[in-house]
Copies of this chain bind each other. A is one copy, B any other.
């Protein structure tokens, strides 16, 4: 059961801070997304059906908490792309960005550090 892009926007809010009410979610996401309240409610209900969030009654409203972890989601998404486009290998992906000149100085520095760490830990 995959979660859609609009649903992921809602999850993002919850990953930022939870639990939250529908209203709070709308407040954070409405401006950029131009959504109505009903839209957010629908998305939350679909996420409930998909067991991606949990809702706990709090008086008249619900508090929503993510069940699906950001890490899991990121994992699925990136693995999908990696497999589909780069034969499941990371180096070609980085090479791609490199050719596209999408590697910032900071990226390069961090990559270097990462490799150095891998060198030590050997894991």
Q: Which A residues fall within an 8 A CB radius of B? A: 5, 8, 74-75, 77-79, 81-82, 84-85, 89-98, 100-104, 106-108, 110-112, 114-115, 118, 123
B-chain residues with CB within 8 Å of residue A114 when the two chains form the complex? 91, 94-95, 98
Assess A81 versus B84: contact at CB under 8 Å? Given A90-B107, A98-B114, A114-B98: no
B-chain residues with CB within 8 Å of residue A75 when the two chains form the complex? 96, 100
Given contacts A78-B93, A91-B107, A94-B114, list 12 more A-B pairs with CB under 8 A.
A74-B85, A75-B96, A77-B84, A78-B96, A78-B97, A79-B102, A82-B102, A89-B104, A90-B111, A91-B111, A98-B118, A101-B123
